[in-house]
A and B are shown apart, each in its own frame.
Chain A
Amino acid sequence: MTVWNVDKNAEAKTMVITAEFKTSITNVWQLWADPRLLERWWGPPGFPATFEHHDLTPGGTITYFMSGPDGVDRFDGTWNVVEVDAPTRLVVEDAIVEDDGTPSDGNSMTRMEIDIEAAGDTTRMILITHFDSLEGMEQAIATGVHEGMKACMSQIDTLLAEVAA
């Protein structure tokens, strides 16, 4: 199990996830820094993400869309890059946008802070997600779950990958 600790605070609308990986800091960083790698894990199976624009510099913008197999459901997202300290720290603010590019929830800027650090012979990733509103949380969940997709599906994938390896 990669997820080491999850700390949730409903009052502050904040979640802190700590995960550890048996690899280098640079390798973990690459999964955020390389849009082709990022899109392989961001969206759930059946609802893949495509990162169109990926400017990983402070003030830069990252845009992506997610679409289902029918091509009808489409979800557009924009991240504003706040801080970049490669390969250890990344801060983005997430604004889910409508088709015309306007934020669908004016005040629901979700802040995501990613810290990557050495932890013995593993690499620890601490991810802090902060929400301004319950609506923002609902939107974040919508991008992660599609058509009743459950976590177990992904666990099956993991098992298959292990068997195949």
Chain B
Amino acid sequence: MSLLKTKAALLRVARDGAAPLPAAPSPGAALDIVVDDTVARHWIVERPVGLADGAELDAFAAARFAALFGADPAVWVLRVDPVARARCWLACALPAVLVTELSQTAAAQGWRVRRLQSRFVREYNRHCRRLGPTAAFCVASRSGTTLGLLAAGEWRSIRVHPPLSRSAADFVQLLQRDCRRVGVDADGLPTFTVGSQRDRVRREP
């Protein structure tokens, strides 16, 4: 048995569903599932004072989720990335039925789900070492434009905009709007963009 990290197969889940999942080439083969950002929900949790334990954090994140998106958190699976000493934490939610269905389907086909993440989280984790503490990270795809803002090493904002190909506003306007909303200076802000629509970002002045 090799102890080295093995390469995993990749299943992309778009807004209109995923391609049929084939059987695993070998039992327990690793599978990474990436869910489109238009399916997921991302938001910023401002760390509350006097948080006692994980259950309180989950309840607080669920309350913020319901307030922001107007959805019932009971039918979503919520995750928070609680960074020690940070004031703001990034949170993500996926529909519970989707998480369950994908996990069961993958297991039935002989796969071992190694990661199940939103596209923004996956792309960010691939490139985070190249980012400074204050930066904008953007996933520009055909389905949407996810723009996250970091200031002094903390998450300040994350929003999913329409795809740049069908957006009335260009990327600079989107960036300025998001920065103005959370008080981050957009001028000279280092921007890191990935995705099939990244050329549209680079062509902007």
Question: Is A bound to B?
Answer: no
B interface list, Cβ under 8 A from A: none
A interface list, Cβ under 8 A from B: none
